[in-house]
């Protein structure tokens, strides 16, 4: 039986993900504010609006949420992470779901940290972006708990962009990480958080946890 995959915030990484998932095994419901990729499985919905979310799935096997700030200021981050997740949770609460994958960011870590940042350590972000993303993670944990997998992406890049920091993640690797968690059931007893950052001797984000689980990062130039 095909699994139902709901992707909210369908964009570049979502497109890369559906391109590498076997369409014979999954039904996709792709939600975004506009149908940029002309997909037949697309639903136009703004998760910041009061508009009702209409779909035809009786159950959702996996939800993937890509939050995005509406602007680069504090208000935009509050909308994109905190407010949007609150609206989404009201919708999702009406659906039986098995797994919820929340995309987050390594911005939650203190940039001045002199040691390798690991998921188990307490986070105390200094600037507003990190603080609001931390709040977003905490709300997702409260709501989904053992169904939740949080993926903290480092700075994204691809062949059309440069690596902006020592902690980075190719967009193809980002899609492959999500695929990894869709295709594998690890039966976590509680929520889990994973740093998603490629190997770099100068980087400060530890990726040991996800590598120990079996994920291998592909190298890109």
Q: pLDDT tier at 155 (50, 70, 90 boundaries)?
A: very high
Flag whether 220 is in a domain.
no
Q: Which domain holds residue 98?
A: 3-213
Mean pLDDT, range 168-186, rounded to an integer: 97
For 89-176, strand residue ranges (E) read 97-105, 148-153, 155-157, 168-170
Query: For the ranges 32-41, 63-72, 121-130, 203-212, which has the lowest average pLDDT?
Result: 32-41
| Rounded CA separation 170/172 (Å) | 5
Flag whether 221 is in a domain.
no
Flag whether 128 is in a domain.
yes
Mean pLDDT, range 115-135, rounded to an integer: 92
pLDDT of residue 10: 93
Flag whether 110 is in a domain.
yes
Mean pLDDT, range 173-177, rounded to an integer: 98
Flag whether 95 is in a domain.
yes
Could you tell me the CATH number of the domain that includes residue 175? 3.40.50.720
Flag whether 43 is in a domain.
yes
How remote is the C-alpha of 213 from its chain's centroid? 18
| Rounded CA separation 97/87 (Å) | 17
Give the tens place of pLDDT for each residue, 13-26.
Answer: 999 999 999 999 99
Q: pLDDT tier at 113 (50, 70, 90 boundaries)?
A: low
pLDDT of residue 40: 78
Flag whether 219 is in a domain.
no
pLDDT of residue 114: 62
pLDDT of residue 3: 94
pLDDT of residue 159: 87
Flag whether 14 is in a domain.
yes
pTM for the model: 0.94
| Rounded CA separation 88/171 (Å) | 24
Tokens of 139: 């709300």
Domain count, the chain: 1
Q: pLDDT tier at 42 (50, 70, 90 boundaries)?
A: confident
Mean pLDDT, range 62-89, rounded to an integer: 90
């Amino acid at each position: 039986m095909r699994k139902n995959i709901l992707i909210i915030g369908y964009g570049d990484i979502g497109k890369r993900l559906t391109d590498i998932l076997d369409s014979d095994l999954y039904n996709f419901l792709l939600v975004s504010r506009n149908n940029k990729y002309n997909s037949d499985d697309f639903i136009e919905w703004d998760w910041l609006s009061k508009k009702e979310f209409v779909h035809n799935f009786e159950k959702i096997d996996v939800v993937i949420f890509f939050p995005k700030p509406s602007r680069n200021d504090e208000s935009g981050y509050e909308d994109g992470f905190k407010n949007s997740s609150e609206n989404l949770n009201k919708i999702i609460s009406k659906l039986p779901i098995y797994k919820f994958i929340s995309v987050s960011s390594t911005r939650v870590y203190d940039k001045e940290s002199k040691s390798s940042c690991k998921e188990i350590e307490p986070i105390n972000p200094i600037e507003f972006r990190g603080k609001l993303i931390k709040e977003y993670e905490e709300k997702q944990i409260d709501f989904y708990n053992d169904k939740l997998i949080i993926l903290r992406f480092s700075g994204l890049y691809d062949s059309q962009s440069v690596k902006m920091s020592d902690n980075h993640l190719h967009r193809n690797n980002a899609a492959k990480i999500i695929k990894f968690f869709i295709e594998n059931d690890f039966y976590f007893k509680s929520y889990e958080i994973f740093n998603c950052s490629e190997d770099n001797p100068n980087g400060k984000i530890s990726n040991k946890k996800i590598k120990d689980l079996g994920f291998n990062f592909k190298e890109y130039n």
